[in-house]
């Protein structure tokens, strides 16, 4: 289990982390969310000793993180951390051996991962000849080649096409299912909502919301109705405790307060149009995020 306890980091007058505290649990995917400059990258770098905290601690399994612990971690930075003129396989074997494993052992693992991610035919190519998406895949292999107990990824899905995105998402879910602690940042909130059991939302260096995503969504009193219909749009504003938040041709998304009556929403829709679909759910992660950073 990875823990941040009161982490503080300042860069001159800028406070990047301001008493940051949260936990990422083993066997689960944790989405680490925040606007640009919120402190996500600084926190991730602190796990690996690339940033030294001014106060507070980071712990692994209840103890301060040691160099030995870090040798069993995997890290995928947002900035490309590869040698562009080095061949793919040679580079991955080199990175794998930094943790003390033999070339034979690491080489076998590298070959398996390259095959898994569809890069076996690019093993002898230089990194700078690969597409952005394939470079992302190589960087992911570098992070997972030693089967880490903790995997930390900074915007791993940036710039990926849908096929590569799905492959990476499946791999992260598989690693978490195998018992690893997986923490990743992303601005793609719909993807995080689909993948993650837990979320941490950080704003100006402080954690403003954290926990199991399903419980966080359910805890808010508001619910949202999504309605698709044919015909004339109903007069949604006539309903007490109901607010129209999105509208398009034949579509409406309504925020329903605890004082609102969902039965009235359905009756109004059926009374003036042909109802084709209706869903009633807690807030999305995107709505949860906006509320958390605005408070």
- Give the start-to-end residue ranges of the domains of the chain: 2-217, 220-294
- Residues 6+ away with beta carbon under 8 Å from 22: 3, 4, 200, 207, 210
Are the C-beta atoms of residues 157 and 186 closer than 8 Å to each other?
yes
Residue 8 or 220, more confident: 8
**What average pLDDT does this structure show over 204-224?**
94
Span of 8-12, 120-124, 212-216, 273-277 with lowest mean pLDDT: 273-277
Residue 175 confidence class, pLDDT cut points 50, 70, 90: very high
Query: CATH assignment of 2-217?
Result: 3.40.50.300
Predicted local confidence at residue 158, as pLDDT = 82
Tokens of 85: 């003129």
Mean pLDDT of 81-91: 92
132-144 and 103-116 are packed helices; what angle lies between their axes, rounded to 10 degrees?
A: 140
What pLDDT score does 68 carry? Answer: 87
Provide the CATH number for the domain formed by 220-294 in this structure.
3.30.70
Residue 37 burial (CB count, 10 A): 13
* Partners of residue 87 on adjacent β-strands: 126
> Can you give the pLDDT at residue 45?
96
Distance of CA 165 to the CA centre of its chain: 12
Question: Residue 2, CB half-sphere, CA atoms under 13 Å: how many?
Answer: 29
Is pLDDT of 8 > 80?
A: yes
Give the tens place of pLDDT for each residue, 24-82. 999 999 999 999 999 999 999 999 999 999 999 999 999 999 988 998 899 999 887 78
């Amino acid at each position: 289990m990875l823990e941040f306890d009161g982490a503080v980091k300042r860069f001159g007058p800028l406070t990047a982390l301001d008493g940051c505290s949260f936990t990422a649990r083993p066997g689960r995917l944790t989405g680490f969310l925040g606007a640009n400059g919120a402190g996500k990258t600084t926190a991730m770098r602190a796990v690996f000793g690339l940033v030294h905290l001014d106060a507070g601690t980071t712990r692994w399994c209840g103890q301060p993180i040691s160099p030995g612990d870090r040798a069993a971690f995997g890290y995928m930075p947002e900035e490309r951390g590869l040698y562009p003129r080095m061949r793919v396989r040679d580079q991955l074997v080199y990175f794998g051996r930094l943790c003390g494993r033999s070339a034979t052992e690491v080489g076998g693992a590298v070959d398996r991962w390259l095959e898994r991610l569809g890069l076996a035919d690019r093993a002898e190519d230089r990194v700078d000849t690969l597409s952005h998406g394939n470079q992302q895949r190589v960087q992911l292999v570098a992070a997972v080649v030693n089967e880490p107990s903790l995997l930390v990824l900074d915007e791993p899905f940036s710039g990926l096409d849908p096929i590569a995105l799905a492959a990476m998402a499946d791999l992260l879910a598989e690693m978490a299912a195998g018992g690893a602690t997986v923490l990743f940042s992303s601005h793609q909130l719909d993807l995080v909502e689909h993948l993650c059991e837990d979320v941490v939302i950080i704003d100006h260096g402080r954690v403003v919301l954290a926990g199991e995503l399903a419980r966080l969504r359910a805890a808010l009193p508001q619910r949202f109705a999504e309605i698709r219909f044919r015909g004339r749009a109903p007069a949604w504003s006539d309903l007490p405790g109901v607010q129209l938040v999105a509208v398009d041709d034949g579509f409406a998304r309504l925020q329903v307060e605890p004082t609102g009556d969902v039965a009235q929403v359905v009756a109004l829709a059926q009374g003036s149009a042909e109802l084709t679909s209706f869903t009633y759910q807690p807030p999305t992660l995107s709505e949860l995020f906006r509320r958390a950073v605005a408070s």
